[in-house]
Structure 1
Amino acid sequence: MTFWKFFFKDKKSSQLNKIDHISIQRIGKENLYLSTCKQVNLEELEQLCDSVGWVRRPLRKVKFALENSFLIVSIFNIKENNKRLVGFARVTSDGSFNATVWDVVIHPDFQGKGLGKLLMNEIIQELRKYDISTITLFADPEVVKFYKQIGFMVDPDEVKGMFWYPT
Protein backbone atom coordinates (compact mmCIF):
# COMPACT_ATOMS: atom_id res chain seq x y z
CA MET A 1 0.00 0.00 0.00
CA THR A 2 2.91 2.39 0.65
CA PHE A 3 3.80 2.22 -3.03
CA TRP A 4 0.41 3.67 -4.09
CA LYS A 5 0.50 6.39 -1.46
CA PHE A 6 3.38 7.89 -3.42
CA PHE A 7 1.04 8.51 -6.37
CA PHE A 8 -1.98 9.61 -4.38
CA LYS A 9 -0.63 12.07 -1.85
CA ASP A 10 -3.04 14.43 -0.15
CA LYS A 11 -3.31 17.88 -1.71
CA LYS A 12 -1.27 19.70 0.96
CA SER A 13 1.75 17.43 0.72
CA SER A 14 1.87 17.63 -3.08
CA GLN A 15 1.65 21.41 -3.30
CA LEU A 16 4.45 23.28 -4.97
CA ASN A 17 7.20 24.25 -2.55
CA LYS A 18 6.56 28.00 -2.53
CA ILE A 19 9.06 30.59 -1.41
CA ASP A 20 8.27 30.98 2.26
CA HIS A 21 11.29 32.62 3.84
CA ILE A 22 11.08 36.11 5.23
CA SER A 23 13.53 38.74 4.12
CA ILE A 24 13.28 42.32 5.31
CA GLN A 25 15.65 44.99 4.02
CA ARG A 26 15.81 48.71 4.61
CA ILE A 27 15.72 50.78 1.43
CA GLY A 28 18.07 53.76 1.45
CA LYS A 29 17.78 56.40 4.16
CA GLU A 30 13.99 56.57 4.06
CA ASN A 31 11.87 54.44 6.34
CA LEU A 32 11.07 52.01 3.54
CA TYR A 33 11.39 48.26 3.93
CA LEU A 34 11.15 45.45 1.41
CA SER A 35 9.66 42.16 2.61
CA THR A 36 9.12 38.70 1.14
CA CYS A 37 6.77 37.68 3.94
CA LYS A 38 3.66 36.01 2.54
CA GLN A 39 1.39 37.44 5.22
CA VAL A 40 -0.30 40.49 3.68
CA ASN A 41 -3.12 42.47 5.26
CA LEU A 42 -5.98 42.26 2.74
CA GLU A 43 -7.47 45.63 3.71
CA GLU A 44 -4.10 47.36 3.28
CA LEU A 45 -3.64 45.69 -0.09
CA GLU A 46 -7.14 46.79 -1.12
CA GLN A 47 -6.33 50.39 -0.12
CA LEU A 48 -3.11 50.27 -2.12
CA CYS A 49 -4.95 48.97 -5.20
CA ASP A 50 -7.65 51.65 -4.71
CA SER A 51 -4.94 54.34 -4.69
CA VAL A 52 -4.05 53.52 -8.32
CA GLY A 53 -7.65 53.10 -9.45
CA TRP A 54 -7.79 49.32 -9.82
CA VAL A 55 -11.18 47.63 -9.88
CA ARG A 56 -12.03 45.96 -6.57
CA ARG A 57 -11.91 42.18 -6.46
CA PRO A 58 -13.66 39.88 -3.98
CA LEU A 59 -11.42 39.64 -0.90
CA ARG A 60 -11.95 35.87 -0.59
CA LYS A 61 -10.53 35.45 -4.10
CA VAL A 62 -7.63 37.82 -3.38
CA LYS A 63 -6.87 35.82 -0.22
CA PHE A 64 -6.92 32.57 -2.21
CA ALA A 65 -4.62 34.08 -4.88
CA LEU A 66 -2.14 35.20 -2.21
CA GLU A 67 -2.17 31.79 -0.52
CA ASN A 68 -1.38 30.13 -3.84
CA SER A 69 1.32 32.55 -4.95
CA PHE A 70 4.88 31.31 -5.30
CA LEU A 71 6.38 34.62 -4.17
CA ILE A 72 5.06 37.86 -2.67
CA VAL A 73 7.17 40.99 -2.35
CA SER A 74 5.92 44.03 -0.43
CA ILE A 75 7.33 47.47 0.32
CA PHE A 76 6.35 49.20 3.56
CA ASN A 77 6.77 52.79 4.75
CA ILE A 78 7.22 53.00 8.51
CA LYS A 79 6.49 56.33 10.12
CA GLU A 80 5.95 56.97 13.84
CA ASN A 81 5.40 53.26 14.59
CA ASN A 82 2.83 52.94 11.78
CA LYS A 83 3.48 50.51 8.95
CA ARG A 84 1.91 51.35 5.57
CA LEU A 85 1.93 49.11 2.49
CA VAL A 86 3.20 51.23 -0.42
CA GLY A 87 4.35 48.61 -2.93
CA PHE A 88 3.36 45.07 -3.82
CA ALA A 89 3.74 42.31 -6.39
CA ARG A 90 3.13 38.57 -6.46
CA VAL A 91 4.31 35.69 -8.62
CA THR A 92 2.85 32.37 -9.68
CA SER A 93 5.20 29.66 -10.91
CA ASP A 94 5.73 25.99 -11.70
CA GLY A 95 8.83 26.31 -9.50
CA SER A 96 11.12 25.12 -12.24
CA PHE A 97 10.87 26.77 -15.64
CA ASN A 98 8.26 29.53 -15.72
CA ALA A 99 6.91 32.31 -13.54
CA THR A 100 4.37 35.06 -14.11
CA VAL A 101 4.37 38.36 -12.22
CA TRP A 102 0.98 39.74 -11.17
CA ASP A 103 -0.47 42.75 -9.40
CA VAL A 104 2.56 45.06 -9.47
CA VAL A 105 1.51 48.26 -7.72
CA ILE A 106 3.28 51.25 -6.16
CA HIS A 107 1.31 53.89 -4.26
CA PRO A 108 1.17 57.16 -6.28
CA ASP A 109 2.92 59.08 -3.46
CA PHE A 110 5.93 56.77 -3.89
CA GLN A 111 6.03 56.42 -7.68
CA GLY A 112 9.01 57.82 -9.57
CA LYS A 113 11.43 56.97 -6.74
CA GLY A 114 12.76 53.68 -8.12
CA LEU A 115 10.57 51.44 -5.97
CA GLY A 116 8.98 49.67 -8.93
CA LYS A 117 12.42 48.82 -10.29
CA LEU A 118 13.54 47.67 -6.84
CA LEU A 119 10.45 45.48 -6.49
CA MET A 120 10.93 43.88 -9.91
CA ASN A 121 14.68 43.35 -9.37
CA GLU A 122 13.93 41.57 -6.08
CA ILE A 123 11.43 39.33 -7.84
CA ILE A 124 13.90 38.46 -10.60
CA GLN A 125 16.67 37.81 -8.08
CA GLU A 126 14.45 35.49 -6.00
CA LEU A 127 13.23 33.57 -9.06
CA ARG A 128 16.75 33.12 -10.40
CA LYS A 129 17.66 31.40 -7.10
CA TYR A 130 15.28 28.65 -8.29
CA ASP A 131 16.84 28.67 -11.78
CA ILE A 132 13.58 29.99 -13.23
CA SER A 133 14.55 31.58 -16.53
CA THR A 134 11.24 32.47 -18.18
CA ILE A 135 9.51 35.31 -16.36
CA THR A 136 6.39 36.77 -17.92
CA LEU A 137 3.90 39.48 -17.06
CA PHE A 138 0.99 41.39 -18.50
CA ALA A 139 1.43 45.15 -18.76
CA ASP A 140 -0.89 48.00 -19.57
CA PRO A 141 0.39 50.08 -22.52
CA GLU A 142 1.39 53.00 -20.28
CA VAL A 143 3.90 50.87 -18.31
CA VAL A 144 5.45 48.83 -21.15
CA LYS A 145 8.36 51.31 -21.34
CA PHE A 146 9.08 50.78 -17.62
CA TYR A 147 9.29 47.00 -18.03
CA LYS A 148 11.46 47.31 -21.15
CA GLN A 149 13.93 49.43 -19.15
CA ILE A 150 14.43 46.56 -16.70
CA GLY A 151 14.94 43.93 -19.41
CA PHE A 152 11.49 42.64 -20.37
CA MET A 153 10.65 42.27 -24.06
CA VAL A 154 7.35 42.42 -25.90
CA ASP A 155 6.68 39.03 -27.55
CA PRO A 156 10.36 38.22 -28.27
CA ASP A 157 9.47 35.11 -30.33
CA GLU A 158 6.37 36.69 -31.85
CA VAL A 159 4.31 34.33 -29.75
CA LYS A 160 0.95 35.90 -29.02
CA GLY A 161 -0.80 35.18 -25.78
CA MET A 162 -4.21 33.64 -26.04
CA PHE A 163 -7.10 34.12 -23.66
CA TRP A 164 -10.40 32.45 -22.94
CA TYR A 165 -13.15 34.31 -21.18
CA PRO A 166 -16.60 33.01 -20.25
CA THR A 167 -19.33 34.41 -22.46
Structure 2
Amino acid sequence: MDISFHKDIPNKEDYFHLYQSTGWNNDGVFTADLLYEGLKNSWFIVSAYNDDKLVASGRIVSDGFIQCFICEMIVLPEYQNQGLGKRIMENLLNHCKSKNIRWVQLACAKGKKAFYEKFGFQERATEAPGMNLFL
Protein backbone atom coordinates (compact mmCIF):
# COMPACT_ATOMS: atom_id res chain seq x y z
CA MET A 1 0.00 0.00 0.00
CA ASP A 2 1.48 3.32 -1.12
CA ILE A 3 0.07 5.96 1.28
CA SER A 4 1.02 9.62 0.95
CA PHE A 5 -0.10 12.56 3.07
CA HIS A 6 -1.03 15.95 1.65
CA LYS A 7 -1.95 19.31 3.15
CA ASP A 8 -3.98 20.68 0.26
CA ILE A 9 -7.75 20.66 -0.24
CA PRO A 10 -9.01 17.32 -1.55
CA ASN A 11 -11.08 17.04 -4.71
CA LYS A 12 -14.75 17.88 -4.05
CA GLU A 13 -16.20 14.58 -5.30
CA ASP A 14 -13.52 12.49 -3.58
CA TYR A 15 -14.15 14.25 -0.29
CA PHE A 16 -17.91 13.82 -0.63
CA HIS A 17 -17.41 10.07 -1.13
CA LEU A 18 -15.14 9.94 1.94
CA TYR A 19 -17.67 11.91 4.01
CA GLN A 20 -20.52 9.68 2.89
CA SER A 21 -18.61 6.64 4.20
CA THR A 22 -19.17 7.87 7.78
CA GLY A 23 -22.95 7.68 7.78
CA TRP A 24 -23.01 11.27 9.12
CA ASN A 25 -24.98 12.44 6.10
CA ASN A 26 -27.70 9.82 5.84
CA ASP A 27 -30.35 12.53 5.58
CA GLY A 28 -28.49 14.21 2.70
CA VAL A 29 -28.24 17.64 4.37
CA PHE A 30 -24.63 18.18 3.26
CA THR A 31 -24.07 18.38 -0.49
CA ALA A 32 -20.69 18.00 -2.16
CA ASP A 33 -20.68 21.77 -2.78
CA LEU A 34 -21.44 22.61 0.84
CA LEU A 35 -18.76 20.27 2.19
CA TYR A 36 -16.26 21.70 -0.28
CA GLU A 37 -16.96 25.25 0.92
CA GLY A 38 -16.28 24.03 4.45
CA LEU A 39 -13.00 22.52 3.32
CA LYS A 40 -11.94 25.75 1.65
CA ASN A 41 -12.57 27.65 4.89
CA SER A 42 -10.51 25.25 7.02
CA TRP A 43 -7.47 26.48 8.89
CA PHE A 44 -5.48 23.29 8.25
CA ILE A 45 -6.14 20.01 6.41
CA VAL A 46 -4.31 16.70 6.22
CA SER A 47 -5.43 13.98 3.83
CA ALA A 48 -4.13 10.49 3.09
CA TYR A 49 -4.09 8.96 -0.37
CA ASN A 50 -3.52 5.40 -1.53
CA ASP A 51 -1.99 6.21 -4.90
CA ASP A 52 -4.62 8.72 -6.17
CA LYS A 53 -7.50 7.51 -3.96
CA LEU A 54 -8.50 9.70 -1.01
CA VAL A 55 -8.71 7.29 1.94
CA ALA A 56 -8.60 9.53 5.03
CA SER A 57 -8.74 13.17 6.06
CA GLY A 58 -8.89 15.47 9.05
CA ARG A 59 -9.29 19.21 9.28
CA ILE A 60 -9.16 22.07 11.75
CA VAL A 61 -11.12 25.29 12.02
CA SER A 62 -9.50 27.93 14.21
CA ASP A 63 -9.03 31.56 15.10
CA GLY A 64 -5.33 30.84 14.61
CA PHE A 65 -4.27 32.08 18.05
CA ILE A 66 -6.19 30.67 21.01
CA GLN A 67 -8.34 27.72 20.09
CA CYS A 68 -9.30 25.30 17.38
CA PHE A 69 -11.78 22.58 16.63
CA ILE A 70 -10.75 19.32 14.98
CA CYS A 71 -13.55 18.17 12.75
CA GLU A 72 -14.28 15.47 10.24
CA MET A 73 -11.60 12.96 11.14
CA ILE A 74 -12.51 10.33 8.57
CA VAL A 75 -10.87 7.08 7.47
CA LEU A 76 -12.59 4.90 4.88
CA PRO A 77 -13.81 1.76 6.66
CA GLU A 78 -11.55 -0.55 4.64
CA TYR A 79 -8.49 1.53 5.66
CA GLN A 80 -9.25 1.77 9.39
CA ASN A 81 -6.94 0.23 12.01
CA GLN A 82 -3.86 0.76 9.83
CA GLY A 83 -2.51 3.86 11.57
CA LEU A 84 -3.81 6.46 9.10
CA GLY A 85 -6.01 8.23 11.65
CA LYS A 86 -3.09 8.33 14.07
CA ARG A 87 -0.79 9.89 11.47
CA ILE A 88 -3.40 12.48 10.54
CA MET A 89 -4.08 13.36 14.18
CA GLU A 90 -0.35 13.72 14.85
CA ASN A 91 -0.08 16.12 11.90
CA LEU A 92 -3.07 18.14 13.10
CA LEU A 93 -1.80 18.40 16.68
CA ASN A 94 1.75 19.22 15.56
CA HIS A 95 0.38 22.08 13.50
CA CYS A 96 -1.50 23.38 16.55
CA LYS A 97 1.66 23.17 18.67
CA SER A 98 3.70 24.98 16.01
CA LYS A 99 1.17 27.85 16.13
CA ASN A 100 0.98 27.88 19.96
CA ILE A 101 -2.70 26.95 20.01
CA ARG A 102 -3.58 26.17 23.63
CA TRP A 103 -7.15 24.87 23.42
CA VAL A 104 -7.95 22.00 21.05
CA GLN A 105 -11.53 20.75 20.97
CA LEU A 106 -13.39 18.07 19.07
CA ALA A 107 -16.65 16.20 18.96
CA CYS A 108 -16.15 12.47 19.19
CA ALA A 109 -18.20 9.95 17.21
CA LYS A 110 -19.76 7.15 19.21
CA GLY A 111 -17.24 4.42 19.99
CA LYS A 112 -14.17 6.51 19.12
CA LYS A 113 -13.38 8.01 22.55
CA ALA A 114 -10.46 5.64 23.22
CA PHE A 115 -8.76 6.74 19.97
CA TYR A 116 -8.71 10.39 21.09
CA GLU A 117 -7.72 9.57 24.66
CA LYS A 118 -4.46 8.14 23.27
CA PHE A 119 -3.59 11.72 22.28
CA GLY A 120 -4.44 13.16 25.70
CA PHE A 121 -8.00 14.30 25.03
CA GLN A 122 -10.26 14.19 28.06
CA GLU A 123 -14.00 14.11 28.26
CA ARG A 124 -15.52 17.32 29.59
CA ALA A 125 -16.90 17.12 33.10
CA THR A 126 -20.69 16.99 33.08
CA GLU A 127 -20.82 20.26 35.02
CA ALA A 128 -18.34 21.98 32.68
CA PRO A 129 -19.73 24.72 30.47
CA GLY A 130 -20.55 23.73 26.98
CA MET A 131 -23.53 23.48 24.72
CA ASN A 132 -24.20 23.01 21.07
CA LEU A 133 -26.95 23.69 18.56
CA PHE A 134 -27.35 21.99 15.21
CA LEU A 135 -29.41 24.16 12.84
Q: TM-score, normalised by structure 1?
A: 0.73
Unaligned stretches of 5+ in structure 2?
none
Task: Go from structure 1 to structure 2 and tell me whether the alpha carbon gap of 1:157 and 1:51 turns closer, same or farther (over 3 Å shift).
Answer: closer
Task: For 1:91 and 1:101, locate their aligned partners in 2 and report how far apart those are by CA, in whole Å.
Answer: 5
Task: Go from structure 1 to structure 2 and tell me whether the alpha carbon gap of 1:32 and 1:97 turns closer, same or farther (over 3 Å shift).
Answer: same
Deviating above 3 A after TM superposition, structure 1's stretches of 4 or more consecutive aligned residues are none
1:37-64 per-residue CA deviation (whole Å, 9 max, x = no partner) reads 1x31111011112223231412222122
Q: Which range moved further: 50-59 or 116-125?
A: 50-59
Unaligned stretches of 5+ in structure 1?
1-29
Task: Go from structure 1 to structure 2 and tell me whether the alpha carbon gap of 1:131 and 1:152 turns closer, same or farther (over 3 Å shift).
Answer: same
- Once the two structures are TM-superposed, the CA of residue 86 in structure 1 deviates from its matched residue by 0.4
Coordinate RMSD, CA, aligned: 1.7
Q: TM-score, normalised by structure 2?
A: 0.89
**Residue 103 of structure 2 is aligned to residue 134 of structure 1:** yes
Task: For 1:68 and 1:131, locate their aligned partners in 2 and report how far apart those are by CA, in whole Å.
Answer: 20
**Equivalent residues in 2 for 1:84-123 (5 A)?**
84-123=53-92
**Equivalent residues in 2 for 1:26-105 (5 A)?**
30-37=1-8, 39-55=9-25, 56=28, 57-78=30-51, 83-105=52-74
> Higher Cα Rg: structure 1 or 2?
1
Task: For 1:129 and 1:51, locate their aligned partners in 2 and report how far apart those are by CA, in whole Å.
Answer: 31
Question: RCO higher in 1 or 2 (8 Å CA, sep ≥ 6)?
Answer: 2
Aligned residues: 132
What residue number does 1:20 align with?
none
Q: 2:112 aligns with which of 108, 122, 143?
A: 143
